[in-house]
């Protein structure tokens, strides 16, 4: 299992993913789930994946190499680095998901392996708007909006309440980083299938030359501070609430 979250804000975009992959309690590995395709000055696209690792890796390879097309030369196939818009990027990922299912879905079903993949695709190409999409296992997708400015994939239920209460489209990027880290901390504390290190992307709208990418490990001082201060704040808020007057 995994947890990935993306926030689409007026200032820009924040994306965060864990790196734990497990095939049973005694078979735990670390694999990056945040993948950045950045051509400075031209495009910045980030992809985060959750679900079956083999399916996710196949999808990522296809969007980088181009989907098989017997009528087109390999050099002319559309890829994540050549699509003209973010809508086309999401559509390309969806098409890749459907292709992997067509090739491997039946064999997986016979082995009682679930075809499970979810993908967040966010970024900006040229002068087009910054956009964020969630691509499902059927290859269809939805888009983040001002009314719903965050999307999640994977083990999202533990980290969602804080986002529901606090995310605002006009919030500063620095506050958004704090919020996704708190959301991730809540997930880490409640689900052992999600684990460190974490991969963080912060992108400021219309600044195609730069995207900040950071790996956050167990001993990262800022994340340690977030975890400790959030726990303390919750305990203090709980104690500050008046006791019920129900006479028990």
pLDDT of residue 25: 62
pLDDT of residue 69: 83
Burial call 68-103: b when 16+ CB within 10 Å, e when fewer:
eeeeeeeeeebebeebeebbebbbbbbbbbbbbbee
pLDDT of residue 127: 97
Mean pLDDT, to the nearest integer, of 208-217? 98
Q: Has residue 248 got a pLDDT over 90?
A: no
Split at pLDDT 50, 70, 90, the class of 230 is very high
H or E, element range at 230: helix 221-240
Q: Which residues have CB under 8 Å from 182's CB, separation 6+?
A: 162, 226, 230
For the stretch 32-88, pLDDT in tens is: 999 999 999 999 999 999 999 999 999 999 999 999 987 777 778 999 999 999 999
CATH of 3-240, one of 3.60.20.10, 3.30.1050.10, 3.20.20.100, 3.10.180.10: 3.60.20.10
**Distance of alpha carbon 219 from alpha carbon 65, whole angstroms:** 36
Mean pLDDT, to the nearest integer, of 113-121? 97
Q: Has residue 1 got a pLDDT over 90?
A: no
For the stretch 156-204, pLDDT in tens is: 999 999 999 999 999 999 999 999 999 999 999 999 889 999 999 999 9
Mean pLDDT, to the nearest integer, of 118-127? 98
Q: In this structure, what token pair is assigned to residue 92?
A: 């390309």
Count of other CB atoms within 10 angstroms of residue 204: 15
Instruction: Name the 3-class secondary structure at 54.
Output: helix
Count of other CB atoms within 10 angstroms of residue 140: 13
Q: In this structure, what token pair is assigned to residue 25?
A: 């309690």
Mean pLDDT, to the nearest integer, of 88-97? 98
- H and E: helices and strands count for the chain: 5, 12
For the stretch 135-152, pLDDT in tens is: 999 999 999 999 999 999
Query: In Å, what is the CA distance from 70 to each residue of 35, 173, 178?
Result: 28, 45, 48
Q: Which residues have CB under 8 Å from 197's CB, separation 6+?
A: 18, 19, 30, 215, 216, 217, 218
Mean pLDDT, to the nearest integer, of 78-104? 98
Tell me the average pLDDT of the chain.
96
């Amino acid at each position: 299992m995994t947890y990935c979250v993306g926030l689409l804000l007026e200032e820009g975009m924040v994306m965060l993913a864990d790196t734990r992959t497990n095939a049973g309690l005694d078979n735990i590995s670390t694999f990056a789930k945040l993948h950045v395709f950045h051509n400075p000055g031209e495009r910045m696209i980030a992809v985060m994946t959750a679900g079956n690792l083999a399916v996710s890796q196949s999808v990522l390879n296809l969007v980088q190499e181009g989907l098989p097309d017997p009528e087109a030369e390999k050099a002319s196939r559309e890829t994540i680095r050549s699509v003209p818009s973010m809508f086309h990027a999401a559509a390309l990922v969806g098409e890749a998901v459907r292709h992997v299912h067509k090739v491997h879905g039946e064999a997986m079903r016979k082995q009682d392996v679930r075809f499970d993949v979810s993908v967040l695709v966010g970024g900006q190409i040229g002068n087009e708007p910054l956009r964020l999409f969630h691509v499902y296992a059927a290859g269809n997708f939805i888009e983040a909006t001002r009314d719903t400015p965050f999307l999640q994939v994977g083990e999202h239920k533990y980290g969602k309440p804080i986002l529901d209460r606090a995310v605002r489209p006009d919030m500063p990027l620095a506050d958004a980083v704090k919020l996704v880290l708190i959301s991730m901390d809540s997930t880490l504390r409640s689900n052992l299938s999600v684990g460190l290190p974490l991969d963080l992307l912060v992108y400021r709208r219309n600044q195609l030359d730069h995207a900040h990418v950071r790996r956050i490990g167990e001993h990262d001082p800022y994340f340690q501070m977030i975890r400790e201060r959030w726990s303390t704040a919750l305990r203090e808020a709980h104690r500050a609430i008046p006791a019920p007057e129900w006479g028990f």
